Amino acid sequence: MKAEIKNYKRFAGHDGQGFEATLYLDGKKAAVISDDGWGGEWNWGIMPNMLNYIEEFRAKCEALPNMPSEYFEDGIGMDATIWIEENLLGIADAKKYCGGKITFIDDGKIWNMGKYNKNNHDQIIKALAVKYPNARLINGMPVVAII
C-alpha cells in the first residue's frame, strides 16, 4: 500500500506544533489528518467510502515490529500515527523548511548543502550518488512511503 501526504501545513498550538495534511492511500484521497497542537489523539477526517482502506492501513501499521525505545525494553507498539510520523512527516517537514538548499536523506539523517536549482535536478541526483550512494534527494520528490 502506498501512502502519500499532500497539502501539509504546520502551525503553533497550545501544547506544541500542530499540523494538517491530506493522506492518500494508493492514490486515493483517504483522510484529512491533523494534530491540533492541544494534546491528545490525532483527528482523522475519513473520506466517504474510505473507512475500509483506513482500517486496512491501520492493521498493516499495527502488524509491524515495535519501534525501539530507550524507555521501554520491548519498544513501543507501532500504529498508524507513529508510522506516519516516522515515514512521512519528517520528510514533509524537511521539504517545507529546506530553504532552497539541496536537501537529502542518508542513513536516516537529513542533510542540507548548496543551493537547489530544479533545472539541475538530474545532475544533483547523479552528483549525490557518487558520494552518498544511499541518499534520497528530498527536493522535488513527493512525500510517499510504502507499507
Question: Each residue's pLDDT tens digit in the chain (147 positions)?
Answer: 999 999 999 999 888 889 999 999 999 999 999 999 988 899 999 999 999 999 999 999 999 999 889 999 999 999 999 999 988 998 888 887 788 899 998 887 888 888 999 899 999 999 999 999 999 898 888 888 888
64/91 Cα distance (integer angstroms):
20
Give residue 132's domain range. Answer: 2-146
Cα three-residue angle 56-62-67, rounded to 5 degrees: 145
Q: Tally the domains of the chain.
A: 1
Cα three-residue angle 97-103-105, rounded to 5 degrees: 110
d(CA 53, CA 30): 7
